[in-house]
Structure 1
Amino acid sequence: MSDHNDQRPEPQRTPLEESRFEPYEVNRPIPIFVLAVAVALIAWGVYTLWSDSGPSTETAASEDAPTVGTTGDRDVADGQGSLMSVGASLFESNCVTCHQANGSGISGAVPPLAGSRYVTGPAEAPVQILLHGISGVIAVAGNQYDGRMPRFGETLSDRQIAAVVSYIRQQWGHDAGAVTPAFVSEQRGRFAADRSPWNGGAELEAVTGIAARLTRTAATEASQ
């Protein structure tokens, strides 16, 4: 069948019908569900703006808590009492598992802090050990230890390290001086942040002046 046969004539309107035609729109009200969602979103937005404009009690509480990563500047600056408090909290969070709450360490594995010349001697020693860690033979309280302590220079600030060092220098009968954040900052600048851990007491001796006190036999056995 040809295309000519498929075409059908369109209905024709008379001039009278054309003049009477008026365009119009069908009245389609907004569904109640859509209105309810819109109202709920507006109410939620208003509440969010109002709640964000006031102080957050949760944030305020977290700033006061002496936890790792958030403790430091304000609390340490408050004075010696706060310095000891922050140091005690950081010691419990990071050190007590190995060095024990009484500073006795673990027999044959972790050297004690109580009575250690590396704690009560020149402050460079505990600061550098915390900054860079230590690995190798070290003699403490008449015994030798050959373990590894991780570095905290990347995770603790100068003020936090000052707090920990000051705390251990005042505990377990110690009477060594406290350490300031400025001193820690000075010690941090002496060596590259990513340097290797200190190679036991022998390398620390060159930096801190604290004698390694290793006998020739002990040093030979440790190198084997």
Structure 2
Amino acid sequence: MRADPVRTATLLALVGTLAVGAAFLVTEWYPSSKQTLLKPDHPEVVAVGERIYESHCASCHGEDLQGEPDWQSPDEDGYLPAPPHDETGHTWHHADEVLFDVTKNGPDAYAGPNYRTRMPEFGGVITDGEIVAVLSYIKSEWPREVRERHDALNAATENR
């Protein structure tokens, strides 16, 4: 049975259009300025962020953002386990720009050379827009009060 050339061409055109559209949306999520603004109320961004979180982050930080057990104590090799990204952790204590930079470039610049973690740099793995999407998904899962406190932190950081 031979494939219908018109149907094949139409399908390829549709796939191509969707790919270009998705790439456009992802790049639009990341602002051109240095300031990173998360989009926890943007359903499409959050949905993409959830899928990326599941494939790149959940194995360490937990499917429910709960982190690894005893995350504040070094393991037998001296590394700190992955912290939770839910309201019980410290993620929301950091402004958007810091969260973005740590995800993209690793925690060394913020935590110092003695901070031992297995957290990789994701800058060469996912795009800036995808980093924003993942962080937006994480923030979307926080209780309203925690999100408001994080928003206030961002506002205070912007005014410096």
Match of 1:114 among 74, 83, 86: 86
Aligned match of 1:150: 120
Q: Shift of residue 126 of structure 1?
A: 1.1
* 2:61–2:82 CA contact under 8 A, matched in 1: yes
Distance in 1 of aligned mates of 2:140 and 2:109: 26
Q: Is 1:87 the equivalent of 2:49?
A: yes
Q: Give the CA deviation at 1:92.
A: 0.8
Q: TM-score, normalised by structure 2?
A: 0.57
Deviation at 1:51, TM superposition (A): 5.4
Contact 1:114/1:172, CA 8 A, preserved across alignment: yes
C-alpha separation in 2, matches of 1:71 and 1:53: 21
Percent identity for Structure 1 against Structure 2:
22
**Which residue pairs with 2:74 in the alignment?**
none
Amino acid corresponding to residue 112 of structure 1 in structure 2: P
Structure with the larger helix share: 2
CA distance in 2, matches of 1:102, 1:53: 40
TM-score (norm 1): 0.43
1:73 deviation in Å?
Answer: 3.0
Code of the residue aligned with 1:106 in structure 2: it is E
The residue type paired with residue 55 of structure 1 is T
More strand by share: 1
**C-alpha distance after superposition, 1:79-133 (max 9, x if no partner):** 8110111111111111011000221111242111123333343112210111111
How many residues align structurally?
121
Distance (whole Å) between structure 2 residues aligned to residue 136 and residue 54 of structure 1:
49
**Counterpart Cα distance in 2 of 1:53 and 1:113:** 44
Q: 1:149-169 CA distances to partner (integer Å, 9 max, x unpaired)?
A: 011111211211111111112
CA RMSD of aligned residues (A): 3.9
Distance (whole Å) between structure 2 residues aligned to residue 88 and residue 123 of structure 1: 17
State the distance in 2 between where 1:125 and 1:58 align.
40
Partner of 2:65: 103
> Partner residue of 2:15?
60
Q: Where does structure 1 lack aligned partners over 5 or more consecutive residues?
A: 1-43, 65-69, 139-144, 178-207, 209-224
Listed as ranges, the gaps of 5+ residues in structure 2 are: 30-40, 71-80, 152-156
Query: Which AA in structure 2 matches 1:157?
Result: T
